[in-house]
Structure 1
Amino acid sequence: MRDDYLHALFSPQAIAVVGSFDSAGALARVVLSNLEGWGYQGRIVSVNWTSQKDPRALDDLKGVDLAVVCLAPEFVLEALEQVADMGVKAVIITSAGFREIGGQGYYLEESIIQLAERRNLTLLGPNCLGVASWADHLNASLIARLPSQGNIAFFSPSGSMCNAILDWAASEEIGFSKFASLGNRAVIDEASMLQFLAEDPQTSVIIGYLEGMNNGRRFARISQTITHEKPVIMLQAGMTEHGQKAISSHVGALTGSERAYQTALKQAGIIQVDNLSSLFDLARMFGTQPLPKGPNLAIVTNSGGAGILAADGMAGTSLILPRLGRDTAARLVDILPRHAQTSNLVDIGMDATPVQYAQALDTVLKDRQIQMALLVIAPGLGVDLPAIVRELVALPRAVGKAVAVCLIGQEGVMEEKRFLQRHGLPCYSNPKAALASFEAMLRYAGWKTKSYPVEVCYRRDKAKAERFLQDCLDARKTELFGFEVQPLLMAYELGFPRTELARTSKSAVKIAKRLACSVALKIASPHIEYKSDVGGVEVNLQTSEAVRQGFAQLTSRVQCQRSEAFISGCLVQEMILGKPAEVCIRVQRDPKFGPLIRFGLSGSQADIFQEYSMRLAPLSLEDAAGMMRELKVFSLLKRERGRDALDLRALEDVLLTVSQMTLDFPEIYTLEFDPVLVTSRGAWVAGARMSLLPQSE
């Protein structure tokens, strides 16, 4: 992929519009009209493709940074060769009819990608609407109505969503700095755009619409760094099976699983929303207000009912409604009507003057323990909303404290709402939306304070593991169970209980004697996935007779339940001393994001609590520790009576090693360590199964 000249997309010195200008509604004419209508100051060259063979027309392309190609698909490849010959650095292709339609369109787009790589072209599209940069007075797009200038950048692969979001932003008085329609993302994708916008001085907040992804792992890795510098808010589509199928038919892209997407965005610090309203609620808050330094929120209202509604909305959030300081309460008593309430929720009443609204807000913001403030106003008799909002915007901004206004209502307060937002005060129609925005700001402030993740590369004999896996694939053995996985565990220095296969009860007794400890018997069958489902485990067998009887009872019981299953015998495994905690680590490779690692409890406890945490590889030290912290049940398990303190460092090592293992070998499709036994002395992989991708895939 080439994205070396992304700056040429947004700040070109000269632009060429390549297409047909014969009809009034031609796409090339629309782009040209938008460029001229926005007052672009650079040189504009219009190249009518019908006269392309005229050498003088080609000469006009000299010195052009950006070419906007508006041609039928069959002419695009030739046009790209021509503009590349003239030294053009970046190209926007608005044409449709490529990968999204399949068939010949797919191969045509592949040819475009190869040309861009060969000629070092930065290419946006195809099947896109173009770009806009407010600071450069550039509208190189097919969209005429754009929002006002601001500090929010926006990108989307979907043209219809671009139109909808830009129109909504214009009506909501939300200003943008940059806009890009990604289209099919043949070369420039979400990760490329995110990396560019992270360094854009005009952009403070990045928002986007995600719809499938070409390189999910690259996007996640880049995002993890960028979100420490700027908030990234994403509206994500394709979270259901039907949605994923729709994406595939829309842009011709494969999608990842819902769990992988959510895990990737969360792990990268991206703020996720599932509707347009939430996207704009957060955008207006992040775009205008400073990040809070703590959870304390003050609520000022003219209506007791509206104030109570706002206070109730704080339930389930990290926000706190503290009691105001004595000095603050005394000051409020002096400036407000006599019947005003001045405890933790400030109710100034319906008869307060416009000046008193501003004074009350200013007073609570000066309280040292307040970090955020929400002003909730209900329209009513005597409430002069136009005068109130004028007083509010004239109020000096409190340094380092976030403020939002909630005007209860819709059409009746629309003008006042737009007025506030034009002047940098986020305004909401209901308290819940405002509180959700405060909560998101608070969480993001916490994310920014986290240190950058430190990845760990664990010791292993990679060559030994590679030989083992290759032998398995050569033998067409793609499903491995139990002790069959031991060579891989040994290559990565993972501890496991000594285990041997016994085909008869007599053999089981001999193995138990050789192990010289209490043993467990586990049924060995390629047809039985989970041994506990068929009662296929006997534990804590201490004598030869117990082992003999256990073998006979175990094989007989399982054979009765699963008569069709081939039983090769029993695994004889040493028992781990103490009272180990049993956990399960599972990995499945996602087509877009790579290894998705899931951590939870094992056995019956997993069925009861159904709690687990997830991360994408590679895991950092912070990720491994966070996976354990997120399991509330695991925290209780650590403190269970009769159990010594668990060696969490050893369990952390297992998680990090699993991450390294699955990154080292893409042929590992699924991997399951169940159970992993954790005691005060370490962690052991007591059960394992693995599936490999055949070499043909």
Structure 2
Amino acid sequence: MPDLSGLFTPDRVAIVGANDEEGSVGRALLKNLSSFDGDVIPVNPNLETVLGRECYSEIGDVPDAASIDLAVVAVPATVAVDVVRQIGHAGITDVVVITAGFSETGGEGEQREQELIDVAEEYDLNLVGPNCIGIISTPSGLNATFVRGEPPVGSISFISQSGAFIAAVLGWAAQHGVGFKDIVSLGNEAVLDEIDFIEQWSDDPDTDVILAYLEDIGDGQRFIETARDVTRETPIVVIKSSRTEAGAEAAASHTGSIAGSEDAYEAGLHQAGVLRAMNIEEVFDYGQVLAGQPLLEDDDIAVVTNGGGPGVLTTDAVSDSRLTIAEFGDDVGAELADVLPGEADVANPLDIIGDADIDRFRESLDIVLGDESVAGAIVLCVPTETLEFDDLADAIGDLQGRHEKPVVTCLMGGEEADRAANTLEPYGIPNYFDPVRAVSSLEVLAKYRDVTEREYESPEAFDIEKERAREILLQAAERDVDHLGVEVMELLDTYGIPIPASDLAESASEAESIAEEIGGPVAMKIVSPDILHKSDIGGVEVDVPIEAVRGTYQTLRERAIDHDPDATVLGVQVQEFVDPDESTETIVGVKRDPQFGHLVMFGLGGIFVQIFEDTAFRVAPVSEREAREMTEEIQAAPMLQGARGRTPADVDGVVETIQRISQLVTDFPAITELDINPLVVSPEGVHAIDLRLTVDRETLPVETARETDG
């Protein structure tokens, strides 16, 4: 892990490309650094002075150049790489490249960025950018950006893959009192990325919360591993753009057509313990409350209000969240009755009546926060002539500190409410006009509590037959196909997943012999790499008696040829028939995501998988706890758990199957898509009835290819 502290605590900063031309980036950088505590050194070969400061022709001309802590580069792209090379040669480690014209422009720009990366590796540079707006660190007054606005000092550190997003936020943050410690515009992330800064801030005692605006995550697995460690102590809140996949082509498998990159991000962020914000308002609401308030010890909260309507709105919002309205104890009710008018109802939500003065508010809130059944509170107040918002804000702040329980407020009004919000700011208590935002902010304190209490476990390593599995996968390479089906059901057996007895028949007589060996009725399925969805063309028959096997074989082949005369038909799979009584058809699937790797899916299966899309996702490798969560998250979970008198299904078998499939695709990254559909679950166990997978033959293990060649 690189030490990036020098980026935020420099004593000497050089601006390469500094100038005094009105409206230029070089001038804006110097102006923004006017309040910086240390030395600022302009570098420009065409100027002797810039804004009254002595200017040097190049970085090597600066006296004691090696003692420069940070170099900010704002020169034309055509010379930027040479300038960074000079910076590295001078012994300077920390560099911010503002300059655009790199990989974001394609072609020549991509080549230029690779040269920049090579220089950074040669000199071991901590390089931010290129194509960024710079960095800010408020404790030292460092504002090495070219945008307008100075954020207040705070304990939130913020990274963004969009410089424009930072530019838009700075003025808003100052207006709303949102304080920051460090802010980084990542730009093209040629060297340093979001993971590097998350690691850096995890050890920063002055960073209480990490916020991130992300458009993409280059290495999803590394992100999960890093963030999982960090979020145990420091909350991370992410707002992720590009959530839709308009125009994406449907994949070959059910899983491929359902699972998108958004599912991978959602699963990956969850597994990493990252809190997801869905809009700009949420990301800063969450950041403020996490930085300013303690966590909820449980989900039971109180609502204290002087207005019935806002109290009802808040109660509705609580009902829509995971939070619950706490039940006051009998002694609390008696205490409240002593301080409230007779017409007041001492239940929660607590309406202390519209004529409440500051004393009634203070006494009521003191009693409520002292109740052991109350983990936190929302205080709502509409303007009246009986109290001043500023006095109420001070009282709320004092009581929150005394009881050490989280409190958020909805002091509804105009300028008076804004002044009260400023009064609440030193107490770390956020104020909202909308009760829904207040509830959402308290809820995130419960969500992060879950993160801190989560015990991470390593995925189980099952005893499997890996070499045999490798040989089966080689069939794809040997047959020069990418798609495999029930003809490789044995692959599941090598990883301990129960499958019915079956075999591939290449003639009607062979089909009959296989059926007789299995005994009893059978299921029969056409096998063709050109026909992926067999049931759609009538390529599957179930509960076939032995005497009908020959005729069914011919019928299935005819249906396949009628559907596609050019299709390659390998034969018909004859399989032990699994009685569907007291069973549920589920699906376990996998799709390889370019950022996160293999994404494992579980849900309701059979023909309903794409109709209901009742699914849950996790990024492989999947632990036992994560697999069990998947079975509990789907809406059809009660069907497995024994709803309405049904005998509970073998959920443990499902959980183990998910883990074994996770191990399979982790062992063989060449599997790009996989469906077990259906995975039939009954009280007696699980059976994989059908299999479909896609492999990338070019990435099959090298040792496998060597074995084949031999």
Quick one: distance in 2 between partners of 1:112 and 1:346?
Answer: 62
Query: Within 5 A, what are the aligned runs for 1:147-162?
Result: 147-162=151-166
Secondary structure, aligned partner of 1:309: helix
| Mapped contact 2:672–2:694 kept (Cα < 8 A) | yes
How far the C-alpha of 1:113 sits from its partner, in A, is 1.2
Aligned partner of 2:530 in structure 1 is 527
Match runs of 1:284-323 below 5 Å? 284-323=288-327
1:652 to 635, 650, 655: 655
- Of the structure 1 ranges 293-302 and 305-314, higher mean CA displacement relative to structure 2 is found in 305-314
1:422-571 to 2 correspondence within 5 Å? Answer: 422-470=426-474, 472-473=476-477, 475-484=479-488, 486=490, 488-542=491-545, 544-555=546-557, 567-571=569-573
1:348 — aligned with what? Answer: 352
Structure 2: distance between partners of 1:597 and 1:552: 37
Q: By how many angstroms is 1:77 displaced?
A: 1.0
Alignment counterpart, residue 43 of structure 2, candidates 44, 47, 50: 47
For 2:532, the aligned partner's letter is E
Q: Does the 8 Å CA contact 2:489/2:690 hold for their aligned counterparts?
A: no
Q: 1:512 to 1:642 in 2, by over 3 A?
A: farther
Q: Deviations over 1:65-101 (max 9, x none)?
A: 3211111111111111111112211111111111112
Task: Give 2:691's aligned amino acid.
Answer: A
Match of 1:96 among 70, 95, 100: 100
Unaligned runs of 5+ in 2: 48-55, 249-259, 701-710
2:611 counterpart of 1:597: no
In the alignment, which residue of structure 2 is the partner of 1:208?
A: 212
Paired residue secondary structure (1:538): strand
The correspondence for 1:12, drawn from 10, 13, 32, is 10
Give the superposition deviation at 1:333: 2.9
SS where residue 298 of structure 2 aligns? Answer: coil
Q: Could you report, residue by residue, the CA deviation over 1:451-484 in whole angstroms, capped at 9, with x for unpaired residues?
A: 0132223334444444554553364211112113
Picking from 113, 118, 124, the partner of 2:122 is 118
Q: Does the CA contact (< 8 Å) of 2:370 and 2:403 recur in 1?
A: no
CA contact (8 A) 2:35 2:141 kept: no
Comparing 345-354 with 47-56, greater Cα deviation is found at: 47-56
Structure 2 letter corresponding to 1:391: A
Distance 2:474 2:19 in 1: 60
- What is the DSSP-based 3-state SS (H/G/I as helix, E as strand, rest coil) of the residue aligned with 1:673? strand
Kindly indicate whether the alpha-carbon contact (under 8 Å) linking 2:3 and 2:200 is maintained by their aligned counterparts in 1: no
Task: Output the amino acid matched with 1:323.
Answer: E
Query: Counterparts in 2 of 1:63-462, with a 5 A limit?
Result: 63-241=67-245, 257-395=261-399, 397-410=401-414, 413-462=417-466
Take 1:695 and 1:555, find their aligned partners in 2: how far apart are those partners?
Answer: 31
Query: Using a 3 Å threshold, how does the CA distance of structure 1 residues 64 and 463 change in structure 2: closer, same or farther?
Result: farther
Alpha-carbon displacement from aligned partner over 1:475-509 (angstroms, at most 9, x marks no partner): 421111211353x3354344322322223332211
Q: 1:370/1:558 Cα in 2 relative to 1: closer, same or farther (>3 Å)?
A: same
8 A Cα contact 1:410 1:429, kept in partner: no
Q: 1:125, 1:182 within 8 Å by CA — same for their partners in 2?
A: yes
The alpha-carbon deviation at position 538 of structure 1 amounts to 2.6
Moved more, 530-539 or 591-600: 530-539
* Amino acid paired to 1:613: A
Could you say which residue in structure 1 is the equivalent of 2:620?
617
Question: Is 2:582–2:683's contact at 8 Å kept on the other side of the alignment?
Answer: no
- Give, as a single letter, the amino acid of the residue that structure 1 aligns with 2:332: T
Q: Which amino acid aligns with 1:515?
A: I
1:688 aligned to 2:694?
no
Name the CA distance, whole Å, in 1 between partners of 2:69 and 2:648: 64
**Aligned-pair CA distance for 1:63:** 1.8
Structure 1 range deviating more: 525-534 or 572-581: 572-581
- Asked if the contact 1:584/1:674 (under 8 Å) is kept, the reply is yes
Measured against aligned partners, the alpha-carbon deviations of 1:103-162 in whole angstroms (never above 9, x if no partner) come to 211111111112212221111011112222233333233245222211111110111100
Deviations 1:586-625 (A, max 9, x none): 1111111111111112214535643111111111121111
Deviation track 1:24-61 (CA, whole Å, cap 9, x = no partner) reads: 544333333333313x24x4433324486679615431
CA distance in 2, matches of 1:240, 1:293: 36
Q: Could you tell which deviates more after superposition, 408-417 or 194-203?
A: 408-417
Distance in 1, Cα, partners of 2:356 & 2:643? 58
SS in 2 for 1:318: coil
Residues 242/33 of structure 1: CA separation in 2 closer, same or farther (3 Å cut): farther
- Contact 1:5/1:89 (CA < 8 Å) preserved in 2? no
Higher mean displacement: 10-19 or 202-211:
10-19
Of residues 547-556 and 351-360 in structure 1, the stretch that sits farther from structure 2 once superposed is: 547-556
Letter in 1 for 2:371: D
Q: Kindly indicate whether the alpha-carbon contact (under 8 Å) linking 1:174 and 1:422 is maintained by their aligned counterparts in 2.
A: no
Contact 2:355 2:384 in 1 (8 A): no
Write the distance in 1 (CA, Å) between the matches of 2:19 and 2:612: 66
Counterpart-to-counterpart distance in 1, 2:299 and 2:519: 58
Alignment partner of 2:326: what SS?
coil
Instruction: Supply the distance in 2 between the matched residues of 1:474 and 1:442 (Cα, whole angstroms).
Output: 54
1-structure distance, mates of 2:264, 2:117: 27
TM, length-normalised to structure 2: 0.89
Larger deviation, residues 221-230 vs 159-168: 221-230
Describe the shift of the 1:55–1:96 C-alpha distance in structure 2 as closer, same or farther (beyond 3 A).
Answer: closer
Q: Helix, strand or coil: the match of 2:504?
A: strand
Return the letter of the residue paired with 1:291: L
Task: Determine the structure 2 residue equivalent to 1:248.
Answer: none
Change (3 A) 1:319 1:694: same
- Which residue is 2:587 aligned to? 584
Distance 1:607 1:638, change over 3 A: farther
Report if aligned partners of 1:668, 1:692 keep a CA contact under 8 Å in 2: yes
RMSD across aligned positions (CA): 2.9
Contact 2:586 2:679 in 1 (8 A): yes
Distance 1:138 1:622, change over 3 A: same
Contact 1:129–1:181 under 8 Å retained in 2: yes
Distance change (3 Å), C-alpha of 1:240 and 1:409: farther
Contact 2:591–2:600 under 8 Å retained in 1? yes
Paired AA for residue 594 in structure 1: G
**Higher alpha-carbon deviation: 364-373 or 23-32:** 23-32
| Mapped contact 1:19–1:71 kept (Cα < 8 A) | yes
Whether the aligned pair in 1 keeps the contact of 2:476 and 2:697 (CA below 8 Å) is no
One-letter code of the match for 1:547? Answer: V
What SS does structure 2 have at the residue aligned with 1:397?
helix
Change (3 A) 1:299 1:197: same
CA spacing shift, 1:171–1:125, aligned 2, 3 Å: same
What one-letter code is carried by the residue in structure 2 that aligns with 1:442? Answer: A
CA contact 1:18–1:49 (8 Å) conserved in 2: no
